[in-house]
Copies of this chain bind each other. A is one copy, B any other.
Amino acid sequence: MKASSSVPKFLTKIWALVEDHRNAEYICWSQDGNSFIVLDEERFAKEILPRHFKHNNMASFVRQLNWYGFHKVMQDETGAARHDKYCSGRYQHHFFKRGHEELLTKIKRKVTASTGDKRVFRKAKVCLLVCSLQISGIVFGMCR
């Protein structure tokens, strides 16, 4: 069983991208496996991205990374092979680690202000059902 269906497509896609050795010259795990590295941003954006997303813009890819809480890290990892001219960026998330695909389920997309409202709204739906039943004259125990 691979990543469960509860994992957004974006996450399973970067996972697959980093794992696929055919992409090794564009994107790969850092040596310690705690971050991934984009090696040639231009070619990565123009050649790899459109195969997996509906765009070929690095900026859009980065926006998605930020939605999911990834951070760009500037520091070179100690002892890591230096890609110097080719390393375009290193991105990291606490739950994105080589060998731990199961952690993907812990990565949450950030909610917008009004998405937050929706949660409340959903809570209220329970209330809706209660009210519905009460109006119908049906008695039952409290929700929650």
Contacts and interface: CB of A to CB of B under 8 A. Distances in A.
Interface of A: 2-3, 5, 9, 12-13, 15-16, 20, 42, 45-46, 51-55, 58-59, 62, 71, 73-74, 77-82, 112-136, 138, 140, 142-144
Contacts of A54: 54-55
Contacts of A123: 131-133, 135, 138, 140
B117 A117 contact: no
Number of copies: 3
A12 B77 CA distance: 9
Contacts of A133: 122-123, 126
A136 B113 CA distance: 12
A86 to B, nearest CB: 13
Contact of A142 (B45, B74, B79, B127): B127
B135 A140 contact: yes
A76 B15 CA distance: 14
Interface centre among A2, A54, A112, A122 (most CB of B within 10 A): A122
